[in-house]
């Protein structure tokens, strides 16, 4: 079965108005200019983008916290903003309710607390959620948006093209993002595990506790983890390699640099100090005054709990993910350039990949070849979703620790 990497096909008559091209983040995103517009600071070249403060945080309400991906912080902030009337709804992403499309996800305008809660948790699945902007164009009010880095690039471009529509966006909540997958991922995972789609009530990309993993709730009530929870990091990485989209590999923004607030996992088990106790929390990077005002107001109202995180304590995994994403993009772009294919222009000089970068990326090249064959994909999935993955994950982690200990700390000024 060939991989389908595009889930939405444009339809209807094109009026050649140029609107989509002007807002499209695909070909051209002037990251330095857009970042400067947001922060007022010129030429800031930190790998994580402009950050004013950082926190380890979670929803104060434990039900919201446990129902979230990391600490349920996004859901808690959206519920708070709705309750105080600062927003009239939020563009969020939920599982597709159509029983034949349960493995897919869709953007939705959530206007009630129940709808916001229903959309909690990360969906690692390509979702054209910005199509919901059409709905807010015709509605009164102001709305929050949860979005991935690439979508936020488009939104910041939209501010120039259609300021009236952009005014309706009260705040942009950005997710950290290393990659996302095509909708085929779930389907093939279920086939591998011998689970019939019609028996499934709900899929979760991060279910079964924290950090959680690929998880199925069956109609007859059983909850079924698809892999051992401790191997989550390896499973998701390999899934991204098998089902990640070509455009994701050309993206250099791992932390939603242009958001008001950026949210990611906080890996408590990497710390030896008081942060080691902060499992099931979200790491939030505050980038704008608007973002700070929201965090403060939500904290004062008792909706969220914030612990300041000094800059040097920001998760090493976040930094490693961003650096990995950048060098992956540099290598992919160089390859495409050689083949005469177009690349996105971020107006940023990427570090020229050296032999060491290329060697580190050999597994990606290998998976590129393997993923083309459905038989090989299915073989890899069989190992990935079996108990064998636990020792393989431990081996991989030992290797990664060695590599990170032997790598010099790249200058913060290198994008
Ligand atoms: C594709 C993807 C890749 C990610 N990669 C990383 C990573 O490499 N490192 C890291 O630290 N964190 C990553 N994250 C972010 C992380 O998984 C959590 O979303 C984040 O920590 C917030 O957790 P929370 O508990 O506060 O959010 P929750 O309270 O669970 O709320 C999550 C909100 O995001 C919305 N949402 C879910 N999926 C999407 C989507 N695809 N597009 C837009 N909105 C969405 C939900 O509707 C909900 O409103 C990724 C998220 C996604 C969706």
| Closest C-alpha residue for ligand 1 atom 12 | 264
Question: Cα(58) to centroid of ligand 1, in Å?
Answer: 14
Residue 237 predicted with pLDDT over 60: yes
Q: Does the CB atom of residue 175 touch ligand 1 within 6 A?
A: yes
Ligand 1 atom nearest to CA at 206 = 17
Q: Is the pLDDT reported for residue 33 higher than 70? A: yes
pLDDT of residue 406: 53
Is the predicted pLDDT of residue 175 greater than 80, yes or no? yes
In a domain, 6, yes or no: no
pLDDT of residue 6: 44
Give the CATH number for residue 303: 3.40.640
- Residue 308 counted as domain residue: yes
Residues 166 and 311 in one domain: yes
**pLDDT for residue 409:** 37
Which pLDDT does position 405 carry in this prediction? 54
Q: Are residues 71 and 155 in the same domain?
A: yes
Residues 287 and 368 in one domain: no
User: Is the torsion defined by CA of 171, 175, 177, 182 positive or negative?
Assistant: negative
pLDDT 10s digits, 43-57: 667 889 999 999 999
121 CB less than 6 Å from ligand 1?
A: yes
| Ligand 1 centroid to residue 197 C-alpha, Å | 24
Q: Are residues 363 and 344 in the same domain?
A: yes
Question: Which pLDDT band, with edges at 50, 70 and 90, does 402 fall under?
Answer: low
Q: How far is residue 340 from each of residues 26, 155, 343, 350, 372, measured CA to CA in Å?
A: 17, 29, 9, 19, 22
Average pLDDT, integer, range 288-313? 97
Q: Of the ranges 144-148, 153-157, 198-202, which one carries the lowest mean pLDDT score?
A: 198-202
pLDDT of 26 higher than 60: yes
Quickly count: other Cβ atoms within 10 Å of residue 34's Cβ. 21
> Which of the listed residues 315, 331, 357 is the one where a domain comes to its end?
315
What is the pLDDT of the chain when averaged over all its residues? Answer: 90
pLDDT of residue 51: 95
For the residues 300-328, what does the mean pLDDT come to?
Answer: 94
Q: Judging by DSSP bridges, how do beta strands 261-265 and 169-175 pair with one another?
A: parallel
Residues 216 and 348 in one domain: yes
Q: Which atom of ligand 1 is closest in space to residue 125's alpha carbon?
A: 41
In this predicted structure, the answer to whether residue 207 has a pLDDT above a threshold of 50 is yes
Q: Nearest Cα to 146, choosing from 282, 336, 315, 269?
A: 282
Q: Is residue 4 part of a domain?
A: no
| Residue 410 included in any domain | no
Task: Grade residue 413 by pLDDT with cuts at 50, 70 and 90.
Answer: very low
Atom 53 of ligand 1: nearest residue by CA position: 122
Minimum CA distance residue for ligand 1 atom 37: 122
**In this predicted model, what pLDDT tens digit does every residue of 71-129 receive, in sequence order?**
999 999 999 999 999 999 999 999 998 888 888 999 999 999 999 999 999 999 999 99
Domain presence at residue 10: no
The response to whether residue 108 sits with its C-beta less than 6 Å from ligand 1 reads: no
For position 124, what pLDDT does the model report? 95
Out of 292, 315, 338, pick the residue that ends a domain: 315
pLDDT at 411: 30
CB atoms within 10 A of CB 85: 9
**6-16 pLDDT, tens digit each:** 445 667 788 88
pTM: 0.94
Instruction: Please check whether residues 391 and 360 belong to one and the same domain.
Output: yes
Structural domains counted in the chain: 2
> Does the CB atom of residue 327 touch ligand 1 within 6 A?
no
The more confidently predicted of residues 13 and 403 is: 13
- With b meaning 16 or more CB within 10 Å and e meaning fewer, what string describes 8-33? eeeeeeeeeeeeeeebebeeebbbbe
What confidence score (pLDDT) does residue 42 get? 76
Domain that residue 58 falls in: 27-45+52-180+249-315
- Check whether residue 266 and residue 395 sit in a common domain: no
Q: What is the pLDDT of residue 72?
A: 98
pLDDT of residue 140: 96
Atom of ligand 1 nearest to the CA of 70: 25
pLDDT tens string 370-387: 999 999 999 999 999 999
What is the model's pLDDT at position 401? Answer: 66
Alpha-carbon distance of 338 to 326, in angstroms, equals 18
Q: Classify residue 323: in a domain, yes or no.
A: yes
Assess whether 310 and 331 both reside in one domain. no
Same-domain check for residues 71 and 140:
yes
Task: Specify whether 107 is located in the same domain as 195.
Answer: no
Same domain, 220 and 271: no
Taking the centre of ligand 1 as the mean of its atom positions, its distance from the CA of residue 68, in whole angstroms, is 9
The residue from 276, 292, 315 where one domain ends is 315
Q: Indicate whether residue 275 lines ligand 1 (CB < 6 A).
A: no
Q: Are residues 329 and 354 in the same domain?
A: yes
Q: Tell how far the Cα of 298 is from the centroid of ligand 1, in angstroms.
A: 19
- Evaluate: CB of 332 within 6 angstroms of ligand 1: no
Query: Is 2 among the domain residues?
Result: no
Residue 302 located in a structural domain: yes
């Amino acid at each position: 079965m060939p991989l389908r990497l595009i889930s939405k096909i444009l339809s209807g008559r094109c009026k050649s108005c140029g609107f989509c091209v002007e807002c499209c983040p695909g070909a051209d995103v002037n990251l330095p200019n857009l970042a400067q517009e947001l922060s007022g600071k010129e030429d800031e070249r930190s790998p994580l983008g402009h950050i004013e403060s950082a926190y380890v945080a979670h929803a104060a309400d434990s039900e919201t916290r446990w129902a979230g991906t990391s600490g349920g912080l996004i859901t808690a902030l959206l519920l708070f903003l709705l309750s105080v009337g600062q927003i009239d709804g939020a563009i969020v992403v939920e599982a597709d309710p159509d029983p034949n499309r349960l493995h897919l996800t869709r953007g939705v305008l959530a206007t009630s607390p129940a709808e916001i809660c229903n959309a909690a948790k990360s969906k690692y699945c390509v979702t054209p959620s910005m199509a919901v902007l059409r709905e807010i164009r015709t509605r009164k009010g102001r709305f929050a948006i949860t979005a991935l880095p690439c979508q936020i690039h488009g939104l910041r471009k939209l501010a120039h093209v259609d300021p009236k529509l952009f005014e309706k966006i009260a705040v942009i909540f950005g997710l950290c993002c290393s990659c996302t997958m095509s909708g085929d991922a779930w389907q093939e995972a279920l086939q591998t595990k011998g689970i019939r789609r019609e028996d499934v009530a709900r899929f979760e990309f991060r279910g079964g506790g924290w950090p959680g993993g690929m998880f199925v709730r069956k109609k007859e009530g059983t909850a079924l983890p698809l892999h051992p929870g401790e191997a989550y990091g390896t499973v998701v990485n390999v899934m991204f390699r098998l089902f990640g989209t070509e455009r994701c590999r050309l993206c250099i923004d791992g932390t939603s640099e242009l958001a008001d607030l950026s949210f990611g996992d906080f890996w408590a088990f990497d710390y030896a100090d008081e942060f080691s106790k902060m499992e099931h929390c979200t790491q939030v990077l505050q980038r704008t005054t608007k973002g700070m005002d929201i965090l403060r107001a939500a904290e004062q109202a008792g909706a969220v709990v914030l612990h300041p995180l000094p800059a040097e304590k920001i998760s090493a995994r976040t930094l490693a993910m961003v650096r990995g994403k950048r060098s992956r993009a540099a290598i992919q772009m160089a390859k495409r350039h050689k083949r005469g294919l177009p690349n996105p222009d971020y107006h940023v000089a990427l570090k020229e990949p050296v032999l060491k970068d290329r060697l580190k990326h050999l597994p990606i090249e290998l998976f590129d070849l393997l993923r083309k064959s459905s038989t090989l994909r299915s073989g890899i999935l069989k190992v990935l979703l079996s108990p064998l993955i636990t020792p393989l994950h431990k081996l991989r982690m030992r290797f990664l620790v060695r590599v990170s200990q032997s790598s010099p700390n790249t200058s913060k000024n290198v994008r």
